[in-house]
Amino acid sequence: MSKTILITGGAGFIGSWLADQLLADGHHVRALDLLTPQVHGAEGVRPPYLYDDVELVHGDVRDPEAVRKALQGVDGVYHLAASVGVGQSMYEIAGYTSINNLGTAVLLEALVERPVERLVVASSMSIYGEGMYADGEGNRVPGTRRGREQLRRGEWELRDERGAELVPVATAEDKQPDLSSVYALSKYDQERLCLMIGEAYGIPTTAMRFFNVYGPRQALSNPYTGVLAIFAARLLNGNPPSIFEDGRQRRDFVSVHDVARACRLAYDTPAAAGAVINVGSGHSFTIVELARRLGEAAGRRIEPEINGKYRVGDIRHCVADISLAERLIGYRPEVDIDRGLEELVGWLDTASAVDRVVEASAELHRRGLTL
């Protein structure tokens, strides 16, 4: 049955791919988007990749009138609107808190007055802080923050009380959050607000904790976006990827197509109401390995620069345990890393980017946010 679905942030990277899938299923899609310059360019115009069938409402999720207008006649909502990026959030504190926290509160106040059948909110793996680990005896233990003195010495790995190196293992949804950045705090606030208000007002709500999402349509000129997009911007400009620490930190990279499909599955699964669900690939790669593989896929064998610095708010290892997503909503990743990188590289042939990595790194350094 055809429905009218609102996607906040629907003109962005993940939102536009979700819109594509919803349109293919026969739904009417409305996107509320501010068309932020850092993501969409100074012109603030409708992105060419957004299908004409998507009804675009140019507005701010913090504006009650814009939100009420966007909700008219809507059956369900995907709340994806947010400022993203750990580093930038540590100095644009008011901006991130306003867009992510206040914007969510404004949306929820409107939904209290006009409930919908379903709400799916985008959360983030960043709320975990460090992922889960196994100690020398095979016990699962939560990772704890590394001290500044340890980081200044370039001792990157987590160790147990006896000095043995901990081994990263998959992180499930029951891990206690450790909010090590303003961004992480704001995403946790988004998910908890949505689940709380959803339960109170009878709006079935699901929070999706995205891991490192990549694919075409990423904002390549935004130096605070996903790491693969940053590497791609460097490669397009003939520059080597710049990597913090020693490059051996591990992350879970998941295709935007799989993320969009997981969002649809969560919406369509009544049992997912009230749940928090990881959305990842279930596999991890080191950052330096991904940089090299991206360069090889693009036919540009540029050796990454390992800068040996630490960025405040970063964690060492985190990979998704996706067993709950498999069991609850039937999610299984379909795009492996080789296929995903091939698609990303194919898109890069038609893309351009301004490399702002050096500028962004200098700003973090000036503010004392790199060690």
Give the residue numbers annotated as catalytic, written as ranges. 183
The alpha-helical segments, DSSP class H, found in the chain are 13-24, 37-40, 64-71, 86-89, 93-96, 103-113, 148-152, 182-200, 227-236, 256-268, 287-297, 323-329, 337-348, 357-366
User: Distances in Å between the alpha carbon of 33 and those of 211, 351, 370?
Assistant: 22, 22, 32
Contacts of 349 (CB under 8 A, 6+ apart): none
Task: Report whether 85 contacts 171 (CB < 8 A).
Answer: no
Please choose, from the candidates 278, 337, 318, 280, the residue with its C-alpha nearest in 3D space to the C-alpha of residue 170. 318
* Residue 251, both tokens: 């992350």
User: Whole-angstrom Cα distance, residue 225 to residue 85?
Assistant: 6
Which residues, at least 6 apart from 1, have a Cβ–Cβ distance to it below 8 Å? none
Contact between residue 369 and residue 254 where contact means Cβ atoms under 8 Å apart: no
DSSP assignment of 321-355? --HHHHHHH-------HHHHHHHHHHHHTT-----
Contact 222, 287 (CB under 8 A): no
Give exposure, 182-199, as e/b (b: 16+ Cβ within 10 Å): bbbbbbbbbbbbbbebbe
